[in-house]
Structure 1
Amino acid sequence: MPKENVIAAKAQLVDDIAGRFTNSVSAIVVDTRGLSVAEDTELRKQLRDSGVKLSVIKNKLLSRAADKAELSDLKDIFVGPSAVAFSEEDAIAPAKILKKFADDHDAVEIKGGIIEGKVASIDEINVYATLPNREELLSSLASVLQAPVRNVAYAVKAVAEKTEE
């Protein structure tokens, strides 16, 4: 393959990665070195079930893509093996899954990432990991909204029963 084609292919790859950074609501960088094949498969399954894509990408490409996506502060964490969990829908899901997996497996190390377009430290990612995800928030909201309606229904039923007596 001619050198020009290789350079063009790498430039396209950098553009694709930069696009993933800008289109994602969160991108968490981790080191998964030391996981067994079964553990890696389980991690990828958990992430995939939540709509998160985990990609192992060379640090040089990540650095160039971070520059292109105007996330230069992120470049400091691209040391050693790097995998990036990209989520386009739920900003909290990758943090929750990776934090829980890292707690259970010493081989997983969260390095940092971006959440809602801002560079996030490990501590910030750990805080996000403790927050309820979108489904949990919607469930809480639904139960809060149902409580007044339920109370009115009980009151109407009690009044109806009292008038029958």
Structure 2
Amino acid sequence: MARPDKAAAVAELAEEFRTSSAVVLTEYRGLSVKEITELRRSLSGNASYAVVKNTLTKLAAKEAGIEGLDEHLVGPSAIAFVKGDAVEVAKGLRDFAKTHPVLTVKGGLFEGAPMTSDDIKKLADLESREVLLAKMAGAMKASMQNAVSLFAAPLSQTARAIDALRQKVEAGGDAAE
């Protein structure tokens, strides 16, 4: 690679690959510049979205030690480099594709593992991290409440038995009966 601008582009892409928790490859053919800008804004909290050249991306992926993307790097490609919540990015791409059907998710990587477009659709169908954590906290709270009830039951039964005996003795009955 003789040109310094291309070498810099490859180095920048390789660094994006290294620092991203996930990447999602898309085909943007048919989207206007305004629509791509809108997509970038919608993903901006969790990912950066860049139109890339396939040959430079292949070189950058190889330099970053990433495999499994070459088959997706055909036709016009853009990559969402995920720095935040991958589920939110997948949902953002899915929702954008509903209103702009020309956007196609090709595949990607999630924590180093290759993903197909179907895998990314499944990821988009997951509930958000906050909802999953809330459900887990609710389940843990219910388990703790069950444990408290289980441990408290013998004590409350003993207290009721003693109270019944006390009432019987006060009523003039014999506690030994």
Q: TM-score, normalised to structure 2's length?
A: 0.72
Q: CA deviation at 1:148?
A: 6.6
Q: Please point out which of 15, 20, 23 is paired with 2:19.
A: 23
Counterpart residue type for residue 105 of structure 2: I
Q: CA deviation at 1:18?
A: 1.4
Distance 1:53 1:22 in 2: 14
Q: CA deviation at 1:119?
A: 1.2
Point out where structure 1 has 5 or more consecutive residues left out of the alignment.
153-165
Distance 1:24 1:74 in 2: 15
Q: TM-score, normalised to structure 1's length?
A: 0.76
Point out where structure 2 has 5 or more consecutive residues left out of the alignment.
149-177
Q: How does 1:127-138 map to 2 (within 5 A)?
A: 127-138=122-133
1:139 aligns with 2:134: yes
Q: Please point out which of 76, 85, 104 is paired with 1:109.
A: 104
Q: CA deviation at 1:72?
A: 3.1
Select between 26-35 and 96-105 the one with higher mean Cα deviation: 96-105
Q: CA deviation at 1:149?
A: 7.7
Deviation track 1:13-68 (CA, whole Å, cap 9, x = no partner) reads: 2122112112211100111221234433332221013x210011111111101111
Residues 86 and 94 of structure 1 are in contact (CA less than 8 Å); yes or no, is this contact kept in structure 2? Answer: no
Deviation track 1:70-115 (CA, whole Å, cap 9, x = no partner) reads: 2232111111111100112322222221122223321101111111
Provide the aligned length of Structure 1 versus Structure 2: 150
1:39 aligns with 2:58: no
Higher-Rg structure is 2
Deviation track 1:109-130 (CA, whole Å, cap 9, x = no partner) reads: 1111111111111111111111
1:118 aligns with 2:113: yes
Q: CA deviation at 1:10?
A: 1.9
Residues 77 and 111 of structure 1 are in contact (CA less than 8 Å); yes or no, is this contact kept in structure 2? Answer: yes
Provide the alpha-carbon RMSD of the alignment: 2.7
